[in-house]
């Protein structure tokens, strides 16, 4: 039986852990990793990374994409729309030229057909890349960049472009639509922008 003394000395569950939102990647990190993946010929990972940044999708939706979601015949789509598994709400995203090039190279190399998953699993018991596999791949990317794994996760990919868009435009409604959030308050919490904006205002206020 636990005594009061033992309870007082119990360490908090989150001691030594970073809790809360995972950090978005910085522009310099994005380009550094792209170059590394290109040089090392990691075609699948480059396509996954670029599409993860562009789509701003949750990991579960990203790994479940099919070739037909991003490619119409021989033509790569410039925009795509998918149904989010968490909210059952559709969300649209852009596919930039850099991402289209990476996807086209990957699809051709892997010999993927329209009805196949874009990122097939290399494990026999899974039809497509799993979220845990995706998280492990991302962990290696973080290592490649010399960053701390504790600071980053799959949500870092979802947050990266959304955060950059907000910082450049301050257009919360646009970011809300891109993330597929039903409420603006969710977007505010997700980006953590209230604190960031307050600090920026404070820093510009000299006394």
Predicted confidence at residue 6, as pLDDT, reads: 47
Tens of pLDDT, residue by residue over 63-82, are: 999 999 999 888 999 999 99
Q: Say what angle helices 43-55 and 154-169 make with each other, to 10 degrees.
A: 50
Report CA-CA distances (Å) from 122 to 39, 70, 98, 151, 202: 23, 21, 25, 27, 50
The pTM assigned to this predicted structure is 0.79
Q: How would DSSP label each residue in 12-54?
A: PTTTT---SPPPPPPHHHHHHHHHHHHHTT-HHHHHHHHHHHH
- Residue 6 tokens read as 């033992």
Q: How many residues does the chain have?
A: 207
DSSP line for 116-130: SBSS--SSTT-SS--
Residue 40 contacts by C-beta under 8 Å, 6 or more apart in sequence? Answer: none
Rounded CA gap, 159 and 105, in Å? 26
Q: What is the percentage of the chain residues whose pLDDT exceeds 90?
A: 53
Residues in CB range of 152: below 8 A, 6 or more apart:
22, 23, 25, 138, 142
Report the pLDDT averaged over residues 150-154: 93
Tokens for 13? 């569950």
Q: What percent of the chain clears pLDDT 70, i.e. is strictly above it?
A: 83
Q: Which residues contact 147 (CB under 8 A, 6 or more apart)?
A: 29
pLDDT above 50: residue 12? no
At residue 17, the pLDDT reads: 43
* Stretch 111-129: mean pLDDT: 87
- Whether residue 45 is predicted with pLDDT greater than 60 in this model: the reply is yes
């Amino acid at each position: 039986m636990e005594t009061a003394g033992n309870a007082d000395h119990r360490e908090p569950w989150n001691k030594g852990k970073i809790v809360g939102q995972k950090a978005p990647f910085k522009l310099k990190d994005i380009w550094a990793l792209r170059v590394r993946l290109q040089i090392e010929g990691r075609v699948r990972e480059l396509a996954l990374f670029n599409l993860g940044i562009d789509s701003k999708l949750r990991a579960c939706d990203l790994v479940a994409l099919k070739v037909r979601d991003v490619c119409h015949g021989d033509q790569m789509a410039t925009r795509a729309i998918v149904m989010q598994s968490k909210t059952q709400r559709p969300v649209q995203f852009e596919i930039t030229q850099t991402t289209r090039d990476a996807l086209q190279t990957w699809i051709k190399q892997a010999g993927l057909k329209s009805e196949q998953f874009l990122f097939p699993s290399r494990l026999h018991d899974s039809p497509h890349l799993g979220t845990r596999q995706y998280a492990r791949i991302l962990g290696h990317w973080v290592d490649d960049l010399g960053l701390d794994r504790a600071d980053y996760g799959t949500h870092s990919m979802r947050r990266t472009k959304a955060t950059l868009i907000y910082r450049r435009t301050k257009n919360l409604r646009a970011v809300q639509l891109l993330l597929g959030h039903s409420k603006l308050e969710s977007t505010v919490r997700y980006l953590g922008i209230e604190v960031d904006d307050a600090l920026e205002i404070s820093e510009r206020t000299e006394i």
